[in-house]
Amino acid sequence: MLTRIDHVGIACADLAASIEFYRRTYGFEVAHEEVNEEQGVREAMLRVNGTDDGGATYLQLLEPTRDDSPVAKFLARHGEGVHHIAFGTADVAGAAAGIGGAGVRVLDSAPRRGSMDSRIVFLHPKDCGGVLTELVQAADQGRHHGEG
Amino acid sequence: MLTRIDHVGIACADLAASIEFYRRTYGFEVAHEEVNEEQGVREAMLRVNGTDDGGATYLQLLEPTRDDSPVAKFLARHGEGVHHIAFGTADVAGAAAGIGGAGVRVLDSAPRRGSMDSRIVFLHPKDCGGVLTELVQAADQGRHHGEG
């Protein structure tokens, strides 16, 4: 059902500086940048590798755009670091229903828009061993499966 | 140079309970278990997907075996959650030298033994935007490249 690690989300105070760190230190390049006003983040996706389900794994660098956003609150409490991990699936609504039925709180009643027009839900970290966990269906997976 | 996200390391208080959570909730199965006395951890590798460099991406569940281990200290400070991320490379010594030369502190003067007979080094999280970062060369990559 979950077929890849889609991305690791990393909270940072200065997106441009973080992009430059990952480029200079490891050679990772920005595949995509966007602002998600709903989530209050400016973000960059750095593609690390392709995956055997036809997708890819990214680092997602997240800078808050406002002080009341979840990432701003995370930075204030924890400082910079890993914010969440995301598993890829071809059917985010089905995966969320199955996982919710197994007793894990799904934080979104319906999938919402994530990076690169993906559809995402978040799971409650207290039900996931302290790990804020996201499920993500890539935009092109929606088309392949007739759900996009 | 770094060709995949090799694994995400997750600190947990009870390895058996965490394995059962990931199996029951997501269907991930244990590919490998071991105790690393040097690092003071009992660990399980759950394979999530294959990667286009011929490797794979895992979740690595880490339970401390003693109170003075780094993972025990992490749990005492932060509770359960993401402990580190690891990037895969075919040449961990060369990658560490290059990254160290770029001004990031490498915490191991020479690669040491990681999960599944891999060779690993850790980078200082303060030099990596708050992310404890590991570089890992899989055992079979050593053989392919004549370094194992």
Q: Tell me: the pLDDT tens digits for A35-66?
A: 999 999 999 999 999 999 999 999 999 999 99
> What is the side-by-side strand order in the sheet with A41-50?
A30-36, A41-50, A56-64, A2-11, A81-89, A133-137, A119-123, A112-113
Characterize B92-124 residue by residue with b for buried, 16 or more Cβ atoms within 10 angstroms of its Cβ, and e for exposed. beebbebbeeeebebeeeebeebbeebbbbbbe
CATH of the domain at A93: 3.10.180.10
Tell me, yes or no, if B144 is annotated catalytic.
Answer: no
* Distance in angstroms between the alpha carbons of the first and the last residue of chain B: 18
Please tell me which residue of chain A has the smallest CA distance to B57: A5
Tell me, yes or no, if B34 is annotated catalytic.
Answer: no
Tally of domains in chain B = 1
Residue listed under structure tokens 């401390």: B64
**What's the pLDDT at B140?**
86
**Residues constituting chain A:** 148
Tell me, yes or no, if B84 is annotated catalytic.
Answer: yes
Q: Which residues of chain B have pLDDT under 50?
A: 143-148
Residue A105 parent element (H or E) = none
Q: CA of B64 to nearest chain A CA: how many angstroms apart?
A: 15
Dmax (CA) of chain B: 44
DSSP 3-state assignment of B70?
Answer: helix
> Which residues does chain A have within 8 Å of residue B21's beta carbon, measured at their own beta carbons?
128-129
Catalytic residue among A39, A63, A83, A84: A84
Structural domain boundaries enclosing A30: 2-144
Residue A68 token pair: 């009341």
Q: Which residues pair with A63 in a beta bridge?
A: A42
A32: which residues sit within 8 A by CB, 6+ positions away? A44, A45, A115, A116
- How many angstroms separate the CA atoms of B137 and B30, rounded? 20
User: Of A95, A92, A69, A82, whose CA–CA distance to A130 is shortest?
Assistant: A82
Is residue A30 within 8 Å of residue A20, measured between CB atoms? no
- How many angstroms separate the CA atoms of A80 and A12, rounded? 5
pLDDT tens for chain A, 148 residues long, are: 999 999 999 999 999 999 999 999 999 999 999 999 999 999 999 999 999 999 999 999 999 999 999 999 999 999 999 999 999 999 999 999 999 998 999 999 999 999 999 999 999 999 999 999 999 999 987 554 444 3
Helix segments in B30-138, DSSP class H: 70-78, 92-101
**What's the pLDDT at A127?**
98
* ipTM computed for the complex: 0.94
Amino acid letter at B138? Answer: A
Is residue B39 within 8 Å of residue B68, measured between CB atoms? no
Residue listed under structure tokens 């780094």: B70
Q: Which residues of B lie closer than 8 Å to A, measured between beta carbons?
A: 1-5, 8, 10-12, 18, 21, 24-28, 48-53, 57, 59, 78-82, 85, 87, 99, 102, 104, 125, 128-131
Chain segment B49-67, per-residue pLDDT in tens: 999 999 999 999 999 999 9
Looking at residue B131, what DSSP letter applies?
A: -
Interchain pair B51, A57: CB under 8 A: yes
